[in-house]
A and B are shown apart, each in its own frame.
Chain A
Amino acid sequence: MTTPRVSAAAVAALALLGTTACGGGGGAGSDEMHVWMYQDTLVVVQEGAVERFNADSDAEAVIDEVPGDSYVERLRTAMGSSKKPDVFFNWGGGSIEPYVEQGMLEPLDDMLAENPEFAGSFIPSVLESGKIDGVQYGIPLRGTQPVILFYNEAVFEEAGAEPPETWDDILDLVDTFNEEGVTPFALAGADPWTEQMWLQYLVDRIGGPEVFERIVGGDSEGWRDPAVLEAAEMVAELVDRGAFGDAYASVSYTEGGASTLLSEGRAAMHLMGSWEYSTHLDQAEDFAKEDLGYTAFPPIDGGEGDPANVVGNPTNFFSVTSDSPHLDSALEFLTYTSQEEYVADMVANGEVPTTTGAEELLADSPSPDFATFQYEMVRDAPHFQLSWDQALPPDVATPMVTEIESLFNGQSTPEQFVDALAAL
């Protein structure tokens, strides 16, 4: 008499196992093709692409949105298991290098060679940054994200100040705003990647892209380049002058602390990725439309780097796992990222696409001026430096980011900073 009950329990247990397996973001073996995306407001663009793809093809693609805070960890854990995603969002560079080393990613060179039109639709330098050791592993999927110096025009007007055009301007502005009782620069010190942006620009302006190229090539002595020390000293000077106020060490960017300081006029400037614009558009629309100013990071006197260079994330990429049971569908799906509808969706959501023909579309952006500024900035940049913590492998990037935090907190001197990095 117990048999039906036992089998019912077994069915229930199996069902439970099934749901937990799917909850883990299953990929291999299931009928659906899993596309992992970093969760944010821009995923609507990829959702549109999946809808069009599913309508055209036999395969069934689904997007798994993974919360941003834990994206890297979740991805790595899944890649080490049998539940790999078929297609996944990444930053290129060091963020996928470990997977390339393990032979887990599908080289995309053949696919690009077979679709010359598709390959030609991206800005070449951006497509180039999806390569590891000369082999293409990533296809651009997002807009470009250069780091821009944002400022609050109302605060500048009140202080009678002009946006900075040289490094001396920056130092003067720090003093001006401190006298006004406004924090000169908002800084989210609890998220050291925001502090890293300062060093990236300073090192590039002072010593050019070659300095970091040597480091990313695996030579940690490259940190001893005089440009790094000089950049660290400039950071220390900014901190001492009160450029970031005195309460930044525990401010978090992801919780919105730093951006709100800028929009409320409690801080005058904020060095941040271009997504800052959409953040303000979302959180403080009036401010974004009326008072949010933006300018390029100023040149440094005597610096070797081209002042037109930019740092940030050239774009984000889709990569494909090579043992995916949906390999052909996945490769087919990638081509949707250059379709007209896809690019139009990006523009409508405030992104600046990395496709060559995007310029004419920018007029449809919610903020055409900003979109054009950003597009030209990237198009005209001789070098686009990928964020250091994404370019370096995680076992170097993690301690590096902590050292940057200590430098900005005044817990280490510029010399100690350089020594610590060279020892990594």
Chain B
Amino acid sequence: MTRKSPAGSAPRTGRPGALWAVPGLVYFAVFAALPMALVAYLSLTEWGGLGAPRFVGLDNWARLFDDPLMGKAVWLSLLLTAASWAVQTPIALLLGVWAAGRQRTRAVLSAIFFLPLLLSSAAVAIIWRALLDPNFGPAAWLGPALGLGSLDLLGGSGSAFWVIVFVSAWQFIPLHMLLYQGGARQIPESLYQAARIDGAGRLSMFWHITLPQLRHTITTSSVLMVVGALTYFDTVLILTGGGPGTDTSIVPFLMYRVGFKSWELGYASAIAFTLVLAATVVALLMVRFTGFGSMRSTREGM
């Protein structure tokens, strides 16, 4: 092979050729775009998984707007997303910034905090289900000991929802903590040195340096959290089964129930497609309004 660069052609140091994107694009087309197209088609049919789908036009989509369970599921999903973000972000941010320090104790404790992330969602849900069993788990004696009577947290309408918020936080805070830890370690030490010369305290340094410098990390972490909460499923399935009643039936769970319990795969596809649209829109909006898309540097003026 000889390197020949015809005169007048662009230097080879620019963007890589479009050919390099082919493996990624093929993967995306086969495992994301194609299934999505099939789901879009199925959402226009009535199909029980047997025989051929029957085309019904927009019936499933019309039903989506009249279904009280769908309305409830959308509300619960929004609530879960907002609550997860509000609970996880401050804790993960503070833990991450704390863990960014180089002290040995911090390294050891970070490793311990990180453990839940190594467990599978199913294992996490089964563990918490056993812990919260109202008759045979620790909750059985903890409730009366605290004077609360029987503690059936997974059986209460409101409490079951908050258990899910809690368990998902327990499971995912370590991941976001890791993001913030990495983000915090990227902040140039010179900024803090300059602040100290100006007489800034720890709190004002956190507020005026650390937080603004973590802006992009916050966006990344938030997008992950929001999209994650919108598609949250396994923990709900194992921990509450959507219950009591339908009080924790968030959109992905409703989709599963309609699809694989009632075998209305057409309607389930309409729910699934709604979820795809909602998650895409939310992610795009977040990227846009946080200025993440324009990729402004956090180091301007340095």
Contact = CB atoms under 8 A, between A and B. Distances in A.
Contacts of B243: 190, 249-250, 402, 405, 409
Given A80-B50, A247-B152, A251-B135, A98 B244 contact: no
Specify which of B49, B149, B244, B257 lies most central, judged by the most chain A CB atoms within 10 Å of its CB: B244
A257 B241 CA distance: 16
| Chain B: number of interface residues, binned into ranges | 20 to 34
Contacts of A99: 50
Sorted from nearest, which 9 A-B pairs have the closest CB atoms?
A249-B155, A247-B134, A250-B154, A406-B245, A247-B152, A247-B150, A250-B155, A80-B49, A398-B262
B42 interface: no
Interface string B116-156: 00000000000000001111100000000000011111111
A412 B245 CA distance: 9
Contacts of A102: 50-51
Contacts of A249: 152, 154-156, 243-244
Interface in A189-211: 189-190
Contacts of A376: none
B134 A104 contact: no
Interface string A57-85: 00000000000000001001101100000
Contact of B155 (A80, A189, A261): A189
A218 interface: no
A245 interface: yes
B136 A257 contact: yes
A395 interface: yes
A6 B172 CA distance: 43
Nearest to B154: A250
Interface string B239-265: 011111111000000000100111110
Interface residues of A, number: 32
B133 A257 contact: yes
Given A98-B50, A245-B150, 16 more contacts: A73-B260, A76-B49, A190-B155, A190-B243, A247-B151, A249-B156, A249-B244, A250-B133, A250-B154, A250-B240, A398-B262, A402-B243, A402-B246, A406-B246, A411-B244, A411-B247
Interface in A72-111: 73, 76-77, 79-80, 98-99, 102, 104
B228 interface: no
Interface string A226-257: 00000000000000000001111111000001
Given A77-B49, A98-B48, A395 B264 contact: yes
Specify which of A76, A77, A246, A247 lies most central, judged by the most chain B CB atoms within 10 Å of its CB: A247
A399 interface: yes
Contacts of A189: 155, 244
Contacts of B242: 402
Contacts of B240: 250
Given A266-B135, A398-B261, A411-B245, A76 B152 contact: no
Interface in A337-387: none
Contact of B262 (A104, A260, A394): A394
B247 A247 contact: no
Contacts of B241: 190
A250 B257 contact: no
Nearest to A77: B49
Nearest to B257: A398
Given A80-B50, A98-B48, A261 B135 contact: yes
Specify which of A73, A99, A249, A261 lies most central, judged by the most chain B CB atoms within 10 Å of its CB: A249
Nearest to B140: A247
B157 interface: yes
Given A246-B150, A247-B151, A402 B245 contact: yes
Interface in B262-293: 262-264
